[in-house]
Amino acid sequence: MRMPLSFLRFLIGRPLATREQDARKIGAFEGVPAMGLDGLASSAYGPEAALAVLIPLGAAGLAQIGAVMAPIVALLAILYVSYRQTIRAYPTSGGAYTVSKENLGVEASLLAAAALMIDYVLNVAVGISAGVAALTSAVPALHPYTLTLCLAILALITLVNLRGTLDAGRFFAVPTYLFVASFMLLLAIGSYKALAAGGHPAPVVPPPPLPKETEALGLWLLLRAFATGCTAMTGVEAVSNGVGAFREPVVRHGHRTLGAVCGILGILLAGIAYLARAYHIGAMDQAREGYQSVLSQLAGAVVGRGWFYDLAIGSLLCVLCLSANTSFTDFPRLCRLVAKDDFLPRPFAVVGRRLVFSVGIIYLALTSGFLLAVFGGITNRLIPLFAIGAFLTFTLSQAGMVAHWRRELRQARRHRHRASLAINALGAAATGTALIVIIAAKFMEGAWITILAIPCVIALLKAIKRYYDELGLRMRDEGRLQLHRSKPPIVLVATEGWNRLTDRALDFALSLSPDVIAVHLTKLEGPDVDREEQALRRKWSSDVERPARELGIRPPRLALIQAPYRRIHVPLLKLVERLEAEHPARRIAVLIPELVKRKWWQHLLHTHRARRLRDALLRYGGSRLMVINVPWYLSEPRIEEAMAPEEKRPAEAEPSLKGGKAASS
């Protein structure tokens, strides 16, 4: 036990006290890497995806990129403003789940929760495998290790997040800000060159020529380009969902983080669209030999293939691989809120060793790791599944805010509220439209799976809630304690042989009750059974009954039982049943002496009968039975061994025992 504990300490750090919570909250500097990586990484594949849809238009398609990207950037601006409002209105947890619950009711909130949970799991699998795909296409020698790389990155992100969101934010800050700085500089240089050359700059490394036109321009093509380009926005809701991680003043830190993510993303999207057109850069077919991503072509065209190219593309690869981190910040916090409302198992709401919700983190790692393993680290087919969830929650969250402002307006008619309502209504309409386009465009490619999965998840959440409701009803306290003046229980001491454990157990038993029965398992067959039984009874009379009588204690009885199927708990349960029938007013206690195993290898050397007997008795014994464990040690333990070094300091306050002394001794 000692060794693994110190290893855990090395891996995820010392346990944190609850009072350290405030010091573990994050600001905007850590907020961008913690929640923004998904959004920023989108800049790499959003424009590329839109350009890919435009490929059939050939060179003419490039002229349309502005028409596609402009509404996307506008939508981003609307989302920014409306999420600012959401964060201000719900500073403790501004996520779609809370906003829907407060304003649209439980059903809407479950819809939001299900959509978000599916999205977050998919985001981890897709994000990591997309990052690794970019990495292996840059370094083809790594290709055979695709799945290993995926799982290694997943393990890294999981471990860092188990240390806490603050650690994750700091750890991933370097690649994040390196990426932001290098691409900002790249766009600035490119734009300067383009403007200086009157809109037609000469590329340092010329991009490959654009393909020939095979299709005519149509509205549906543009809509599809818009819908696929919208994947660039899937990370924007993350800040509002993870707002609980920020330190005071929460709203200011949330606004700054949201502003930074949206601002950088907007500049990147607009800049990429402008430069792609200026430098004549289009998407290439990924399946073809010599494929280059749009950003790689762009960097080559602007600055050539020098160290700066390597730096920019290298930091982009890091950001792509780490975009899953956003899920690790938000998913556990979302699950915690849902679990607090009893729609998810309670362990999701338990604060872990490092003040994060470790169960959620581990669950996310396991499910996405399972997806990666099943798909061998290539999760392209999952991409159509996952923009739906984001836009569904955008819409729900915006619609919820509309309801919120309407209620506020009813209470007090202020102009500010009217403006806010208008903004959120615009946001809801825009994201709702985008959602319909996305579903229509991607339904056959796999989006139907998401649309099927969401109701299943909701049904599961509701089933969990029903269980807890039923449990709560059954467990509800009825006010005054119902006491009975009951006799001490009849105590059974379960034993298979006479040794010090049995002696101690009998001594303990006699301190609890005058009615003690030692239950001894006897052999069934062989010629010596009768003789052995006689010997046992003689020994009992001289070694147990006599000392008890000498002390004036009623001597314990001896019951010999047989277990024809070698399972002692069955005859013991039968005996309990009989005693309960004979003594309807008494309780029964079974006392089980147990050797405490303190080394892992000791568990291999013993038969664990005590543990199995305890489990069977608790499981089937009924509500008049209690099970008493009497530990026996090879070496007496010290209570300090149970504590981490931090816990050995004296507690803030000694427990207050009402009335001074604990008990009259």
Q: How many CB atoms lie within 10 A of CB 659?
A: 7
Q: How many CB atoms lie within 10 A of CB 622?
A: 11
**Shortest distance, CB of residue 336 to its own copies, whole angstroms?**
13
Which one, 38 or 167, has the nearer CB to its own copies? 167
Which one, 418 or 523, has the nearer CB to its own copies? 523
Stretch that binds its own copies, among 73-81, 105-113, 137-145, 590-598 (CB under 8 A): 590-598
Q: Report whether the peptide linkage leading into residue 140 is cis, meaning its omega lies within 30 degrees of zero.
A: no
Q: Which of residues 535-564 bind its own copies (CB under 8 A)?
A: 537, 542-544, 546-548, 551-553, 557-562, 564
Strand partners, 493: 518, 591
Closest CA relative to residue 82, chosen from 269, 255, 328 = 255
The full DSSP string for 566-616 is S-THHHHHHHHHHHHHH-TT--EEEEEEEEPP-STTHHHHS--HHHHHHHH
- Binder of its own copies out of 3, 212, 527, 652 (CB under 8 A): 652
Closest CA relative to residue 213, chosen from 355, 59, 380, 420 = 59
Residue 95 makes contact with its own copies by CB under 8 A = no
x-or-dash pattern for its own copies, window 321-360, by CB under 8 A? ------------------------xxx--xx-x-------
Q: How many CB atoms lie within 10 A of CB 336?
A: 20
Which one, 141 or 642, has the nearer CB to its own copies? 642
Q: What CA–CA distance (Å, rounded) separates 622 from 616?
A: 11
3-class DSSP assignment, residue 391 = helix
Q: How many CB atoms lie within 10 A of CB 25?
A: 18
3-class DSSP assignment, residue 516 = strand
- DSSP class of residue 496 equals S
Q: Which of residues 4-63 bind its own copies (CB under 8 A)?
A: 15-19, 21
Stretch that binds its own copies, among 118-126, 221-229, 322-330, 582-590 (CB under 8 A): 582-590
C-alpha distances out from residue 500 to 399, 495, 514, 640, Å: 71, 11, 21, 26
Q: What CA–CA distance (Å, rounded) separates 204 from 450?
A: 44
Stretch that binds its own copies, among 52-60, 187-195, 207-215, 603-611 (CB under 8 A): 603-611
Tokens (6 digits) for 102:
């407060």
Which one, 135 or 572, has the nearer CB to its own copies? 572
Stretch that binds its own copies, among 150-158, 247-255, 379-387, 614-622 (CB under 8 A): 614-622
Which one, 291 or 600, has the nearer CB to its own copies? 600
Residue 92 makes contact with its own copies by CB under 8 A = no
**Dihedral class, residue 355 (left if φ above 0, else alpha if ψ from -120 to 50, else beta):** left
Which one, 212 or 638, has the nearer CB to its own copies? 638
Residue 621 makes contact with its own copies by CB under 8 A = yes
Q: Which of residues 460-489 bind its own copies (CB under 8 A)?
A: 464, 467-468, 470-471, 474-489
**Shortest distance, CB of residue 378 to its own copies, whole angstroms?**
23
Residue 90 CB partners (closer than 8 Å, separation 6+): 98, 99, 102, 240, 243
Residue 139 makes contact with its own copies by CB under 8 A = no
Which one, 449 or 548, has the nearer CB to its own copies? 548
Which one, 434 or 589, has the nearer CB to its own copies? 589
Q: What CA–CA distance (Å, rounded) separates 224 from 76?
A: 18
**Shortest distance, CB of residue 567 to its own copies, whole angstroms?**
8
Which one, 108 or 544, has the nearer CB to its own copies? 544
- Binder of its own copies out of 136, 569, 600, 612 (CB under 8 A): 569
- DSSP class of residue 26 equals B
x-or-dash pattern for its own copies, window 489-528, by CB under 8 A? xx-------xxxxxxx-xxx-xxxx-x-x-x----xx---
Residue 122 makes contact with its own copies by CB under 8 A = no
Gyration radius of the chain's alpha carbons: 34
Q: What CA–CA distance (Å, rounded) separates 276 from 267?
A: 14
> CA-CA-CA-CA torsion for 446, 447, 448, 451, nearest 10 degrees?
150
Which one, 415 or 661, has the nearer CB to its own copies? 661
Residue 594 makes contact with its own copies by CB under 8 A = yes
Residue 77 makes contact with its own copies by CB under 8 A = no
Q: Which of residues 388-417 bind its own copies (CB under 8 A)?
A: none
Residue 107 makes contact with its own copies by CB under 8 A = no
- Binder of its own copies out of 92, 214, 411, 607 (CB under 8 A): 607
**Shortest distance, CB of residue 328 to its own copies, whole angstroms?**
21
**Shortest distance, CB of residue 2 to its own copies, whole angstroms?**
12
Q: Which of residues 243-302 bind its own copies (CB under 8 A)?
A: none
Angle at 609 between CA 603 and CA 612, to 5 degrees: 95
**Shortest distance, CB of residue 547 to its own copies, whole angstroms?**
5
**Shortest distance, CB of residue 574 to its own copies, whole angstroms?**
7
Q: What CA–CA distance (Å, rounded) separates 121 from 145?
A: 22
Closest CA relative to residue 546, chosen from 538, 555, 537 = 555
Which one, 309 or 348, has the nearer CB to its own copies? 348
- Binder of its own copies out of 92, 214, 411, 656 (CB under 8 A): 656
Q: What CA–CA distance (Å, rounded) separates 25 from 14?
A: 17
Burial of 479 per CB tally in 10 Å (0-12, 13-18, 19+): exposed
> What's the one-letter identity of residue 596?
V
H or E element, residue 296: helix 294-303
H or E element, residue 315: helix 307-322
**Shortest distance, CB of residue 331 to its own copies, whole angstroms?**
17
Residue 574 makes contact with its own copies by CB under 8 A = yes
Stretch that binds its own copies, among 136-144, 150-158, 196-204, 585-593 (CB under 8 A): 585-593
Residue 459 makes contact with its own copies by CB under 8 A = no
# residues near its own copies by CB under 8 A: 140
